[in-house]
Structure 1
Amino acid sequence: MTGSPRPVRLGPRSLAALSLVSAVGVVAFGWPFLAPPTSRLGAHAQDAPWLFTGLLVLLIAVAAATISESGLGPKAVAMLGVLAATGAALRPIGAGTAGIEPMFFLMVLSGRVLGPGFGFVLGSVTMFASALLTGGVGPWMPFQMLAMGWFTMGAGLLPGPDRLRGRGELALLAAYGCLAAFAYGTVMNLAGWPFMGALASDIAFDAHAAVPVNLARFAAYCLATSLGWDLGRAVCTVVLTLTLGPTLLRALRRATRRAAFETAVTFEGPGTHPVRPHSCADRQTRGEAAHMTHVTYDATP
């Protein structure tokens, strides 16, 4: 078998749940540019707790639908937990240090190997765990979970590894990590920018201004407040991807194949001639342990 295994597939229920939460997320992030200037946008601040609860429920629904529909076993859930815990532990390392956030590098490579469905769940769960670890629980947390889910899922949607390996794959992942790091910071700016109107500055959101005016204000806000942080995040992601990427990609692919997330187990009754798997020595010699997709057990007394 060649290529990278994709243990989580986007089935109908998973795709529907993901589409729903993404649509709600687009509205939640982009409402300053979607609502007319005459609307009462100030009331949105009072709706934040409801939005917080709604997004959390939708994110949990995506995780539940993905895991149940894909038939993941304890091995896949264990890998999800290990990667999420690792990402959560990496986040505080560069906290407050010019955007040095190594967890983004791990999310890019994990999404690449494990696919978009697993990537979205992993990104969301990792951000949730890191918020609990760092005490960052608040109305902004579901926005972070959604943005990180998109970030990790995007790596799984890149051109298939069957057609792109080696330096070309690393260059692609580094380029994606760079662009996605800026995109993540820009999207997260939308979560807080509309509520700085009390500052009455030229870069604050103006509920009565036209969309082009607010776009210009938002661009100035990003340049003035988060460009340096986003640049640090992008550089850190690119450097770690190019230096540690080959080793981590091999480790993730080896672990995914050996876990055999989608191995089908069948049983044959008496009188049949089961196809028995090769012995451990044969599998180790031929390198077939990672490629075995079906295991058959003999039920003959």
Structure 2
Amino acid sequence: MKFKHQAMRALTLSLAAVAALMMFTWPLVIGVTAQSESEIAQTAFLVLMPLVLVLLLIEFSSGGIDARQIALLGVLTALNAVIRMLGAGTAGVETAFFLIIIAAYVFGPSFGFLFGALSLLVSGLLTGGIGPWLPFQMMAAALVGLAAGALPKVSRTWLQFLMLCGYAFVASFFYGGLMTLWNWPFLAGPGTSISYVAGASLIENLTRFVQYGLFTGGLIWDFGRAITTSVLILLTAPALLATLNRAANRVGFVKLPD
């Protein structure tokens, strides 16, 4: 029975991750004309929000998460939403991702996926940042949390810090690349050398996307996010890892096996 629950959790998490990736990569793999931003956003909410709820219910019913752990998820989500307001993304300065990465590393990929998505949702509600970009921000952050939770657990403290900082640097560009990819078909406009071309080959559209990212300066913005997140992890990881590990022991958190 325990193996069945673990398999169901892993399957649901995998489906949510694949669906989230498809939200962003459809211009590269699907030969259709671009839809409006509002239609894309509505479809994303309709498909992915139930997946987040299903994942939470499966975690609850399988014993992977209980009422105390849901309360912990809620507290961390509210805290991270407030922390994100301190950065607001100005010049690439993002303050939300260091806590997502550290908490996901401690509590595992399922928690990381939920924590990433809910942090951006609550932050958007608090700041009024609700628009067609919000579901994409949620799922990009969820993928960052999922991958952080899947990082190998190491015992040496200095190696943990090095691994988390290195991951934060890469994940910042990953998040930025996904967010650039989702709006590229709309913001680039038609008929230019960097425009999305419906039905074109993967290589052609990927080349145009890279050129678009260079032209718009998205990589510079991502570099600011990478530096901010890495520095915040370096400064806070010693205290946060110890605190969150104690919290995990107290609430009896059950993680997916590594």
Normalized against structure 1, the TM-score is what?
0.76
Identity of aligned residues (%): 38
Deviation at 1:209, TM superposition (A): 3.6
From 159, 169, 173, give the equivalent of 2:160. 169
**Distance change >3 Å, CA 71–CA 105, structure 1 → 2:** closer
- Per-residue CA distance 1:256-301 (angstroms, 9 max, x = gap): 2223346xxxxxxxxxxxxxxxxxxxxxxxxxxxxxxxxxxxxxxx
Deviation at 1:183, TM superposition (A): 0.4
Higher helix share: 2
**Distance change >3 Å, CA 160–CA 191, structure 1 → 2:** same
Q: Secondary structure at the match of 2:90?
A: coil
* AA matched with 1:16: L
Deviation at 1:220, TM superposition (A): 1.5
Using the alignment, how far apart are the partners of 2:166 and 2:206 within structure 1?
26
Report matched runs for 1:1-301 at 5 Å. 11-36=6-31, 40-43=32-35, 45=37, 47-48=39-40, 49-70=42-63, 72-161=65-154, 164-198=155-189, 200-207=191-198, 209-225=200-216, 226-261=218-253
Using the alignment, how far apart are the partners of 2:192 and 2:126 within structure 1?
34
Higher relative contact order (CA 8 A, sep 6+): 2
Contact residue 116 and residue 145 of structure 2 kept, 8 A: yes
Structure 1 residue ranges (4+ consecutive) displaced by more than 6 angstroms after TM superposition: none
Note the aligned Cα RMSD (angstroms): 2.0
Using the alignment, how far apart are the partners of 1:214 and 1:167 within structure 2?
41
Unaligned runs of 5+ in 1: 1-9, 263-301
**Distance change >3 Å, CA 196–CA 261, structure 1 → 2:** closer
Contact residue 151 and residue 184 of structure 1 kept, 8 A: yes
Using the alignment, how far apart are the partners of 2:22 and 2:250 within structure 1?
41
Contact residue 128 and residue 145 of structure 1 kept, 8 A: yes
* AA matched with 2:6: G
Larger displacement relative to structure 2 (220-229 or 243-252): 220-229
Q: Secondary structure at the match of 1:21?
A: helix
Deviation at 1:79, TM superposition (A): 0.9
Using the alignment, how far apart are the partners of 1:255 and 1:18 within structure 2?
23
- Per-residue CA distance 1:6-51 (angstroms, 9 max, x = gap): xxxx822222222222222222211111123xxx423465742233
Q: Secondary structure at the match of 1:94?
A: coil
Using the alignment, how far apart are the partners of 1:98 and 1:204 within structure 2?
25
* AA matched with 1:177: A
